[in-house]
Amino acid sequence: MTARLLDGQALARQIQREITPQVADFTRRQGRPPGLAIVLVGHHPASEVYVRNKLKAGSDVGFRADLERLPESASLADVLALVERLNRSDAHDGILVQSPLPKVLGPDAASRVFDAIAPEKDVDGFTPANVGRMVQGRPALVACTPSGIIELLVREGIPIAGRRACVIGRSDIVGKPMALLLLQRDATVTVCHSKTPDLAGVCREADIVVAAVGRAGLVTKAFVKPGATVVDVGMNTVTDSAVAASLFPEEHPKLARFRERGSVLVGDVHPEVADVAGALTPVPGGVGPLTVTMLMRNTLRAAQARLAGSW
């Protein structure tokens, strides 16, 4: 392996250390801590884990972090009423509605609920107001995963301005905001997706590749220019032994772990990429911890902006 590992976990801890005294200062001045409310509807095993991690991270930096749970049987009106109550709450500066919402709420439930969140409390950066502001380069609460990736690139000294960047994936929560943030930092950006012909060839031209697809090991050596920086957003649980064997050589500890547990967490980037890339984020321990930390930073910023009336 030749690629330098970009340690998202270490940077997340560093940013937490930066945030914590600011939270203490806010609490001392206001007589209350910044408040984060997380709305969880129904039971979704992965969401339970994500929400637990976010609540813990919130408490660790000194926030009031509240879980607002609704049952699987909740209606869309119930979810919207809860969001409205949190919009009016003085104790809460940030509101996050955990995705996915139960399917029974209907296909447009997520957009209806996100649209209902007050933009100044939208710490996920999903509301049209925040997305629009971000597109125009105005102050905004920006989606946590892409803003964490920018933070990582900047603090690791990886040049963005004037470089070619390729973002694979065009989702509203990762791919699109990622492309815009790279563009704002003067990269020349290409956005690739499931209909892009010659994906490997397009990616091979890039100095920075961000893979946000959700396909284990999609990005192979053939996608990567020697020395390029590769950011792996994907989080895929592999349970198929043939897929695990295609990703890891026989002696690899992750293959041993897969055989022990029957599953292994992998990114979108094939492990062989470490032989060509200049720098690479690991999975786990790369983008994931930064996403949670950016949520904390957004909540603190939302609290400070509400206080200053600067929204």
The residue ranges that bind ligand NAD (CB under 6 A) are 145, 168-171, 173-175, 192-194, 196, 199, 212-215, 233-236, 287-288, 291
Please tell me which residue in 54, 121, 176, 225 is annotated as part of the active site.
Answer: 54
Q: How far is the CB of 71 from ligand NAD (least distance, A)?
A: 25
Q: Select 214 or 278, whichever has its Cβ closest to ligand NAD.
A: 214
Please tell me which residue in 93, 122, 124, 268 is annotated as part of the active site.
Answer: 124
Q: How far is the CB of 26 from ligand NAD (least distance, A)?
A: 26
Active site (annotated) includes residue 98 = yes
74 Cβ contact list (under 8 Å, min separation 6): 41, 42, 102, 105
Q: Select 85 or 193, whichever has its Cβ closest to ligand NAD.
A: 193
Q: Select 212 or 277, whichever has its Cβ closest to ligand NAD.
A: 212
Please tell me which residue in 98, 207, 225, 232 is annotated as part of the active site.
Answer: 98
As a three-state string, the secondary structure of the chain is CCCEECCHHHHHHHHHHHHHHHHHHHHHHHCCCCEEEEEEECCCHHHHHHHHHHHHHHHHHCCEEEEEEECCCCCHHHHHHHHHHHHHCCCCCEEEECCCCCHHHCCCHHHHHHHHCCHHHECCCCCHHHHHHHHCCCCCCCCHHHHHHHHHHHHCCCCCCCCEEEEECCCCCCHHHHHHHHHHCCCEEEEECCCCCCHHHHHCCCCEEEECCCCCCCECHHHCCCCCEEEECCCEEECCHHHHHHHCCCCCHHHHHHHHHCCEEECCECHHHHHCCCEECCCCCCHHHHHHHHHHHHHHHHHHHHHHCCC
Q: Select 33 or 288, whichever has its Cβ closest to ligand NAD.
A: 288
Q: How far is the CB of 10 from ligand NAD (least distance, A)?
A: 16
Q: How far is the CB of 212 from ligand NAD (least distance, A)?
A: 4
Q: Select 236 or 299, whichever has its Cβ closest to ligand NAD.
A: 236
Active site (annotated) includes residue 54 = yes
Q: How far is the CB of 173 from ligand NAD (least distance, A)?
A: 5
Q: Would you name the residues annotated as active-site residues?
A: 54, 98, 124
